[in-house]
C-alpha cells in the first residue's frame, strides 16, 4: 500500500504581494495640521492685523496733527513765487476757516491792524492812560525796510483758523523809474488776493486813496468772467485825529474809523476798548463760506484753498492783458535807457 502524499499548499510570496500593492492606485493621503499649528498661525494673523491697525492709526494721527504758527511766514516772495512750505501749517480737512488780507499804501498802518487780528493781546490799555503795543505779541513787523524788493505777502494762521495776510504796500514806487514795474506787480498781487480771500481790509488815512482804488478796479476787470467769487471789503480809516468824523463816499460801503491810538487825547474822545472790539468783530463775525463758484458742490477745505492759490498763480502767468502790460514795461525801459 502506497503512502499517501501530503497536499502541497502554495503560498504567495511577499514579493508578489508588494508588487501588486505597488501596481494598485494609491488613495491620496489627507494631511491635517495639528491644533497647536492652527493656533500659532491664528495668533500670527491677529498680531499682524493689530500691527496694521496700529500703523494706520499712527499715520492718521500724524496727518491730523496741525503744526501751529508761532510767527509770520513769507507766503509769497518777489516774482510771485509761493512758498509751499506754508501749506504744512494747513488743516487739510477743515472747512471752517477765514482768509483776511489788508491792502494799503505805505505808512497807513495796515500791519498794525493785521497784528490786532492775529493776536488779541497785541494792544495794551495801560489803566486808561495810554495805549501800548506789545512787542512780544507782534506777529507782523511794523518797522520795515524802505527798499522796494517786489510784491510780497506774509501770512499767519491763528488758532481759530483765521489766515491773516499782510501784503507789501501798494503804489510804493509811484515816483521812481520802475513805476510801471511796480504797478504791474501791484495788479498781479491784487488779482491774487481778490480770488483767495474772504475779506480784504482797505486801509487808508482820511479818504480812500484814489490810486489804490484805481488799481483795485483795474485788477477786478482783469479777472476772468467765469470766476464768480469776489471778497467782502472793509474800508478802514486808520490813524485818524481823535474826534474826527468823515462822511462815507458811498452809504453802502462797510466803513470803520480807527483813531490814532497813540494820540495823547485818545481817551477823551473814544472808548478804545470798544473801538478795538468793533474792528475785530467786523472781521471775526464774517461768514466763512466757499470761495468756489456758487454752482460748485465741491467741499472747500484748507487743502482745496491751497490748490486754488496755485491755480490762480498758473492762470496769472498766461493772462493776455498782463503779458501785454509786461511788454509795455519793457518798451518803457528801453525808451528810458535810450
CB 155 within 8 A of CB 73: yes
**Is 176 exposed, middle or buried, given 0-12, 13-18 or 19+ CB atoms closer than 10 A?**
exposed
Q: What percent of the chain has pLDDT over 90?
A: 36
- pLDDT greater than 80 at residue 296: no
- pLDDT greater than 60 at residue 252: no
Per residue in 163-216, pLDDT (tens digit) is 999 999 987 655 554 566 678 889 999 999 999 999 999 999 877 788 889 899
Per residue in 98-149, pLDDT (tens digit) is 999 999 998 899 999 999 999 988 988 877 666 888 888 899 988 866 666 7
- pLDDT greater than 50 at residue 61: no
Q: Look up residue 114 and give its three cell numbers.
A: 493785521
Q: Please provide the average confidence, as pLDDT, over all residues in the chain.
A: 79
- Nearest by Cα to 212 from 106, 57, 75: 106
pLDDT band at 1 (very low <50, low <70, confident <90, very high): very low
Q: Look up residue 134 and give its three cell numbers.
A: 506789545
- Mean of pLDDT values over 42-65: 59
Per residue in 2-35, pLDDT (tens digit) is 445 555 554 445 555 455 554 555 554 544 445 5
Q: For the CA atoms of 72, 74, 76, 81, what is the dihedral angle to 10 degrees?
A: -150
Domain 96-337 bears CATH identifier 1.10.3110: no
pTM of the model: 0.75
CB 165 within 8 A of CB 205: no
Amino acid at each position: 500500500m502506497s503512502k499517501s502524499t501530503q497536499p502541497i499548499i502554495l503560498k504567495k510570496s511577499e514579493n508578489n504581494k508588494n508588487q501588486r500593492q505597488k501596481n494598485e492606485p494609491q488613495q491620496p493621503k489627507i494631511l491635517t495640521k495639528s491644533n497647536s499649528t492652527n493656533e500659532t498661525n491664528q495668533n500670527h494673523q491677529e498680531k499682524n492685523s493689530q500691527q496694521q491697525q496700529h500703523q494706520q492709526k499712527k499715520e492718521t494721527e500724524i496727518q491730523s496733527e496741525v503744526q501751529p504758527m508761532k510767527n509770520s511766514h513769507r507766503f509769497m516772495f518777489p516774482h510771485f513765487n509761493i512758498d509751499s512750505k506754508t501749506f504744512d501749517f494747513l488743516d487739510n480737512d477743515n472747512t471752517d476757516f477765514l482768509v483776511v488780507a489788508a491792502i494799503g499804501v505805505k505808512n497807513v498802518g495796515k500791519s498794525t491792524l493785521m497784528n490786532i487780528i492775529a493776536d488779541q493781546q497785541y494792544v495794551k490799555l495801560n489803566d486808561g492812560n495810554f495805549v501800548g503795543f506789545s512787542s512780544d505779541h507782534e506777529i507782523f513787523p511794523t518797522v520795515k525796510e524802505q527798499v522796494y524788493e517786489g510784491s510780497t505777502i506774509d501770512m499767519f494762521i491763528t488758532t481759530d483758523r483765521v489766515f491773516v495776510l499782510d501784503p507789501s504796500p501798494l503804489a510804493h514806487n509811484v515816483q521812481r523809474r520802475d513805476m510801471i514795474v511796480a504797478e504791474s506787480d501791484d495788479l498781479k498781487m491784487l488779482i491774487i488776493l481778490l480770488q483767495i480771500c474772504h475779506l480784504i481790509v482797505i486801509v487808508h488815512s482820511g479818504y480812500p486813496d484814489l490810486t489804490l482804488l484805481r488799481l483795485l478796479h483795474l485788477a477786478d476787470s482783469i479777472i476772468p468772467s467765469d470766476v464768480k467769487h469776489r471778497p467782502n471789503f472793509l474800508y478802514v480809516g486808520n490813524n485818524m485825529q481823535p474826534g474826527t468824523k468823515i462822511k462815507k463816499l458811498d452809504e453802502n460801503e462797510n466803513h470803520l474809523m480807527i483813531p490814532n491810538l497813540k494820540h495823547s487825547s485818545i481817551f477823551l474822545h473814544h472808548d478804545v476798548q470798544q473801538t478795538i472790539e468793533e474792528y475785530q468783530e467786523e472781521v471775526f463775525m464774517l461768514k466763512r463760506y466757499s470761495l468756489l463758484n456758487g454752482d460748485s458742490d465741491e467741499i472747500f477745505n484748507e487743502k482745496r484753498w491751497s490748490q486754488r492759490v496755485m491755480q490762480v498763480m498758473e492762470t496769472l502767468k498766461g493772462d493776455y492783458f498782463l503779458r501785454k502790460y509786461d511788454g509795455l514795461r519793457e518798451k518803457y525801459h528801453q525808451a528810458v535807457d535810450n
